[in-house]
Amino acid sequence: MENEKKVLLSGIQPSGDLHLGNYLGAIRNWAQLSDQFDCYWFMADLHTITVRQVPAELRRRTLVQIATYIACGLDPDRNTIFVQSHVPAHAQLGWVLQCYTMFGELSRMTQFKDKSAKHADNINAGLFTYPSLMAADILLYQPDFVPVGADQKQHVEICRDIANRFNGVYGETFKIPEPYIPKAGARVMSLNQPGTKMSKSMPEGCVFLMEKPEDILRKFKRAVTDSDTVDPVRYDPENKPGVANLMQIYAAVTGRSYPQIEEEFSGQGYGAFKSAVGEAVVETLRPIREETERLLADKGYLETVYRAGAQRAEHIARRTLSKVYRKVGFLAP
C-alpha cells in the first residue's frame, strides 16, 4: 500500500555507556522519526565481542541502553526495540552474506584498520568480517533508510554493494537501503581534544548520559578553550575549535543561535561560559538519567519490552531469511 510508512533501522553497540555525542547527534532526533517511519532500533551486542568484553558489564550496558532509549522518548509501542542476539537470523544471514562479500572490500574498511591498530593482540576474523554481519542487520528488515553520520557512509555503501551483488546473482531479493543523514544533528567533539569526536574511549573528554551532575560540571570546567581574552566566546571552528564545540553543545541544548550566545557572554571570560554550558547540559540530561534509573528498577518491564521487540523483529527477519535460503538452494526445514 502506498500509504504504508517507509522502514528505518539503526543499531548502536552496548560496548560502552551512551554519551552526549550519541544523544545530540542521533538519539534525540530518533523520537520524532517514529511519526514518519516504521522504526527498528537494536542493541548491536553481537558486534561488541570482536573486542573482549566483561560478560556482566555487557549485560548491564545492554539493559541500560534499552532503558535510556525509552527515557529519551522512544515509545516501545511505536518503535521496535530489541537486542540483536535475540534474533538468530542476524547471525544466520551474516554467514550467507560473508560468502558474497569480497576480501578486498573488507580489507579497505576503515574500522577494521582502526580497531586492528588499537587491539593488535586480538585481530580476529569477526573484526575483519563484521561488515557482512552489519549488512545482514540491515537487509533482514528491508529498510528504506539507515541513519548514519556523514563519516559512517562507508558502512551503508558496502551493505549496498553486497545486496546488489546478491540481487545480481539471484534476482530481486533485498531492497537497497539509502543512508539517512539528518540535517539537524550536532557533531559533538571531545571536551579535551576538540579535534576528535567525543568517544567513550577517551572518558575525560566524554560526557556520559548517566554521569553524576558534579562530574559533568567538572569536565566542562576543564574543557579545552584557548588564550583569547578579547570577547573570547565567538564561533570560529577553524581558529577556536574548543570554543566552537562548547558553543555547538550550548546551542543544541538551549536552542540559542551562535550570535545570541556570543551576545550572552560578551565581555565574560571562559570560566562563566564553561560553567553555563555544563549547567545547561546537566539540566538537559537530568530527566533522562532519572527516568533511566526508574526504568532500570523495573527489570520485568524492560524484559517485556525487549521480548516483544524481538518477536516483532524475528517475524520480519525470518521472512527475509527464508527467501534467501530458498534462493541459495538450502533445503526447507
Has 221 been annotated as catalytic? no
Q: Are 262 and 234 in contact (CB under 8 A)?
A: yes
Identity of residue 4: E
Has 274 been annotated as catalytic? no
Strand order from edge to edge, sheet including 178-180: 79-83, 37-43, 6-12, 145-147, 178-180
Q: Which of 197, 221, 323, 327 is catalytic?
A: 197
Angle (CA) 60-302-322 rounded to 5° is 95
Helix axes 110-118, 125-139, angle to 10 degrees: 140
Q: Which of 175, 200, 221, 323 is catalytic?
A: 200
Has 200 been annotated as catalytic? yes
Q: Are 333 and 92 in contact (CB under 8 A)?
A: no
DSSP state of 25: I
Residues 187, 248: Cα–Cα separation, whole Å: 8
Return the active site residues: 115, 197, 200
